Structure 1
Amino acid sequence: MNLIHKIEWSNWREFAFPSSVVLLAFFIPLIKYGIQIPILLFILSWFFYPKVPFKKVWWPFLVFGGFYIFHLIGMFYTEHVNLGINDLTEKLSLLLFPFFFATAKPMNKKFKRYAIITFAIGLAFSVVLSFIISGFSYANSGNIRDFYMSEFSPIFHPSYIAMFINMAIAILLTVITTLKFSKIQLVLLWVLIFFLSLALVFPTSKMGFIIFVFLIGYFLFKWATQKVFFKLNSLLLLLVGITTLVFIKFNPVAQSRVNSAVEFADGEMKPNESHQMESNAARIYAWKATLNEIKKHPFGVGTGDINTVLENHFRENGLEELADKGLNPHNQYLQSAMAIGIPALLWFLFSLLYPFGKIIRTKDWLYAFFLCSLALNLLVESMLEKQSGIVFFSFFNALFFFSASLISKNTDNSKMNFEK
């Protein structure tokens, strides 16, 4: 509140753009349809905000926007122009967010902190809403599965909501060791972390579980290697992690998902004999089909053509179930290589590695977790084919990079008062 009181409301141009960033961060995990409205407000406010000369930021903009440029190039050899145009429209955020953040004057650090914190708050609202919706469904059906997978998350795909939850937990773990809170506030923050950790069980995303384990280890290692070792926080985080894993172990729905993955990996499951393929088996077939097509088309099949080519491949090989589902590769790296070529994939991989130079200099370990988490999720989901994943990635990647450290360098050793 003190920051808002200090702002001269007559200078609204300085206030509108950062506020739109905070607003958009809040709605990203909360709404799927209608996210265009806060994005539009973000764009409009940028026009009135002070700018940075483009010549100073053209290279990082090209690094992040280059992936979209490859999609534009793919339009020259696509066979389905309408599908290609739809794909370009869906992915426009990959170009817009890097451009707007790169050319906007760096925001006040407090607004940057508010942005990531409001994302966590928005995610908490989203999870509570999911429990309410599932509760009503369960009251009508009596089926406990109304609390799991897509039934738990009717707005977002379970993998997306699991990714959002892990990111929100990482944000909360970062702020409790970088900002100064009262004891009551810290208790509430840890209750929220515990709540979100248990909520991760209900989407039953297998990669979500893996990244959660990675998250626990990541922060324990991070805290253990700092000059100030957060003993109590480390103990609480370990307790949260163990409790959540025990909940997963004894939760029948979550455990069945884990067991199916293990059985398939051990070769005990024969998906081709079942009436309906388990998701792991479907992914393997999709990956093999995609790799075969990449060998035939090293420069891609063209923007918008990938689904048609895959469907034809499935039907030619007698995989009618996968063809009818319109299954995509469920791997963003393979998806991009097949659609727009191996050079485009290499550029995208470069864009994921490029920020680590700045991360090491600024010690922005939350940004590092964001990129590592995303990179793992992209192994099992084509998350940059849907607007929810595109907006999440492009918004936060640009916000993190062009804002440098969202908290500030070495703030773990010198905690700041959140109210200042």
Structure 2
Amino acid sequence: MKQFILQYNNSVVYFFLMAIALFPVLPTGVESVLMFSGFLFSLCYFFLEGKKFWNKDKTIQLLLFSSLFLIFAFTLLYTSDIKTGIKFIIRLLPTVLFPAIFLFNDKDLLNAKQIKVITNVYCLAVVLILFFLHITLINELYSSNLKFWDFRQLIESKIKVHGTYLAMWVGFAIIVLVYKIKNEIASKKYFIILIQLLIIAYFFYWLYIIGSRMPFVATIMVCFFCLFKNLKQIIFASILLIILTFILVSKVDRIGERFEKLKNYNFSFPEGKYEDNYPNISNEQIRNGIYFCSYETLKLEPILGYGVGDVDAKLQSCYDEKFTNTDTYKVISYNSHNEYLNIILSSGIIGLVLFLFSQFYFLRKAFYYKLGIYISFVFFIFLNFSFENILSRHDGVIFFGFFNSLLFFQNRNLNEKSIN
């Protein structure tokens, strides 16, 4: 067994990472088995061989990758609902296990070709899940009578994935393909570029269909970051983007409908019984109440927060106290819908600062080594953090933990150099 681990370690870990890249179409249980199996195999290799090349930098990186897990674990010391808190930090385990898989191995774990295959597998998984939806919802897809939220619920009922997370997966697949096209242009593989452009067009079609605004906007913004290198190009592209966006939101439904509501934005809260009045209660009104209570709650414990187990209960208490003229916040439980707010509510401003410091460390290294796709991923995920608790669901944690590690460690010589 020892000889097998030493000889085939890289190949086995590569297989697990390639399999995990299929997470958009895998059941949660299968994802977890693959992740823990890859971690345990790497851990065995570490005990046999890996301790020889373990160093201070690896220790620092493992701690920083695990920062949110450690911060939330610390809040268990003062949270009231220990059981809920433990469930939450267990959900964050991918943010620890994925970087450990890379750090327990040496710098030659994966080569550039293998990284390319893994990202190709991810894009294939996104294609498969969208094809499945296309086939199973073919009649509803082209129905002009179906309302936006009804169609969104149909999507979520078919694949058991929240629409925002699906849109986020699709958006990042577009970003990955943009980088692949940049590489293919240099090698003049025009047929492959054509195929990739067609896939990107199909992905954008589904972003429009799903109608999640932040993933849509974040995808566009990061793609422009990928494509343009100087200020003039960015200014020209930005003007073009504004024109195209205006046309899009003015002339089409679904995503246009979502943006149209922002034009007539009115700061108000839900009113009346949800069951009778839900067609008239907008997403914006619900979020107004969420952010209002998030602010009211966090200002009472801004330094250390309430502990990871008590956040939702504190928000619900505010909803019950402030919104007595509606049962909207009783029918459905709402979290803070903002990852930064969730971190502050859980661990205070201190927790948020520590988490952002860890990300600054990795971004600083990424800029130094010109890891464009990793920088793009971080900007993409941080934009999405602004309107959703991405790390409160398994689908968000597996996405963040997997790519945050894979793309950072794509440079095999990353740990051999130092930043001046």
TM-score normalised according to structure 2 size: 0.82
Deviation at 1:202, TM superposition (A): 1.2
SS at match of 1:118: helix
Which of 138, 141, 153 aligns to 1:135? It is 138
Match of 2:416 in 1: none
Match of 1:297 in 2: 301
Cα distance change, pair 146–340 in 1 and its aligned pair in 2 (3 A): closer
Does residue 14 of the first structure (1) align with residue 10 of the second (2)? yes
Match of 1:414 in 2: none
Match of 1:98 in 2: 99
1:345-384 paired onto structure 2 within 5 Å: 345-384=352-391
Does residue 288 of the first structure (1) align with residue 292 of the second (2)? yes
Cα distance between partner residues in 1 of 2:358 and 2:5: 38
Cα distance between partner residues in 1 of 2:388 and 2:10: 38
Deviation at 1:196, TM superposition (A): 0.8
Which of 117, 120, 125 aligns to 2:123? It is 120
Cα distance change, pair 405–124 in 1 and its aligned pair in 2 (3 A): farther
Match of 2:154 in 1: 151
Cα distance between partner residues in 2 of 1:339 and 1:89: 15
Amino acid at match of 1:375: F
Residues 272-313 of structure 1 show CA distances to partners (whole Å, capped at 9, x for unaligned) of: 457333222222221221122212122111121111111111
| Contact 1:159-1:208 within 8 A present in 2 as well | yes
Cα distance between partner residues in 1 of 2:231 and 2:144: 50
Residues 138-168 of structure 1 show CA distances to partners (whole Å, capped at 9, x for unaligned) of: 6999847588424234432111111111111
Deviation at 1:245, TM superposition (A): 7.6
Cα RMSD of the aligned pairs, angstroms, is: 3.3
Cα distance between partner residues in 1 of 2:310 and 2:362: 31
Match of 1:73 in 2: 74
1:233-272 paired onto structure 2 within 5 Å: 249-264=250-265, 267=266, 270-272=268-270
Residues 66-89 of structure 1 show CA distances to partners (whole Å, capped at 9, x for unaligned) of: 211111111111111211121121
Which of 387, 398, 401 aligns to 1:394? It is 401
| Identity percentage of aligned residues | 21
SS at match of 1:354: helix
Cα distance between partner residues in 2 of 1:346 and 1:168: 30
Which of 316, 333, 347 aligns to 1:340? It is 347
Residue correspondences, number: 387
Cα distance between partner residues in 2 of 1:127 and 1:315: 39
1:29-44 paired onto structure 2 within 5 Å: 29-34=24-29, 35-44=31-40
Match of 2:213 in 1: 206
Cα distance between partner residues in 2 of 1:128 and 1:80: 42
| Contact 2:310-2:346 within 8 A present in 1 as well | yes
Match of 2:60 in 1: 59
Cα distance between partner residues in 2 of 1:211 and 1:349: 19
Deviation at 1:40, TM superposition (A): 2.8
Amino acid at match of 1:195: Y
Amino acid at match of 1:59: I
Amino acid at match of 1:86: K
Cα distance change, pair 102–150 in 1 and its aligned pair in 2 (3 A): farther
TM-score normalised according to structure 1 size: 0.82
SS at match of 1:296: coil
SS at match of 2:307: coil
Q: Which moved more, 1:70-79 or 1:41-50?
A: 41-50
Amino acid at match of 2:171: N
| Contact 1:29-1:126 within 8 A present in 2 as well | yes
SS at match of 1:300: coil
Amino acid at match of 2:364: G
Residues 172-198 of structure 1 show CA distances to partners (whole Å, capped at 9, x for unaligned) of: 111122243633222111111111111
Cα distance change, pair 104–280 in 1 and its aligned pair in 2 (3 A): farther
Does residue 45 of the first structure (1) align with residue 41 of the second (2)? yes
Cα distance between partner residues in 2 of 1:98 and 1:58: 11
| Contact 2:88-2:309 within 8 A present in 1 as well | yes
Match of 1:3 in 2: none
Which of 308, 314, 317 aligns to 1:312? It is 317
| Contact 2:42-2:104 within 8 A present in 1 as well | no
Cα distance between partner residues in 2 of 1:60 and 1:10: 24
Which of 164, 168, 176 aligns to 1:171? It is 176
Listed as ranges, the gaps of 5+ residues in structure 2 are 414-420
Residues 329-373 of structure 1 show CA distances to partners (whole Å, capped at 9, x for unaligned) of: 100000111012221111111122222222222211111111111
